[in-house]
Amino acid sequence: NDSEDLLAERKRNFASSLSVSYANVKPLTMVRAKGQYINNVPHIGHCDERVVRAVSEMTATISPCKLSLAVELLDFGTNTRYLHPVRQQLAKELLSTLPAPLTKVFLVNSGSEANDLALRLARAYTKKTKTIAVERG
């Protein structure tokens, strides 16, 4: 099952502190999101034009382009609560460039989220809650 394979790969590549929504049922693999609507694989309908177009484009491509990965990730976002194959592929490619001790990735939307995550990770690792900050450099 693709969703189960994606979930197993996600567990290898992402930190265990990043939970998956609906973990107690069959994992949901999201394929599209716009506005308040998120669509998963089983609910794309019959002969959806986006699916037909995507399959046509995929068959014309020998291997996935890294740029298309980035564009697809931007289209769907970095929310890791739902499965999406692009996130797993991006995580694998990122991890392949890093030294062996680094085995997990966190995807965030902004520098602010990255800073917040770095602070939370530092607090979790050191088990300390106080922080020193410098204002204006």
For 104-121, what is each residue's pLDDT tens digit? 988 887 788 888 889 999
Is the torsion defined by CA of 107, 108, 111, 117 positive or negative? negative
| List of long-range contacts for 90-97, beta carbons under 8 Å, 24+ apart | 91/10, 91/13, 91/14, 92/9, 92/13, 93/66, 93/69, 95/13
For 25-51, what is each residue's pLDDT tens digit? 676 777 777 776 777 765 555 567 777
Residue 93: predicted pLDDT? 84
Region 120-137: mean pLDDT is 86
Q: For residue 7, what are its two tokens?
A: 């979930």
On the question of pLDDT at 127 being above 90, the answer is yes
Region 76-104: mean pLDDT is 80
How far, in Å, CA of 66 to CA of 72, rounded?
A: 10
Residue 123: predicted pLDDT? 92
* In the chain, where the domains are located: 2-126
Residue 72: predicted pLDDT? 59
Report the candidate in 12, 17, 4, 22 with the shortest Cα–Cα distance to residue 82.
22
**N residues, the chain:** 137
Residue 128: predicted pLDDT? 93
Angle at 55 between CA 36 and CA 106, to 5 degrees: 50
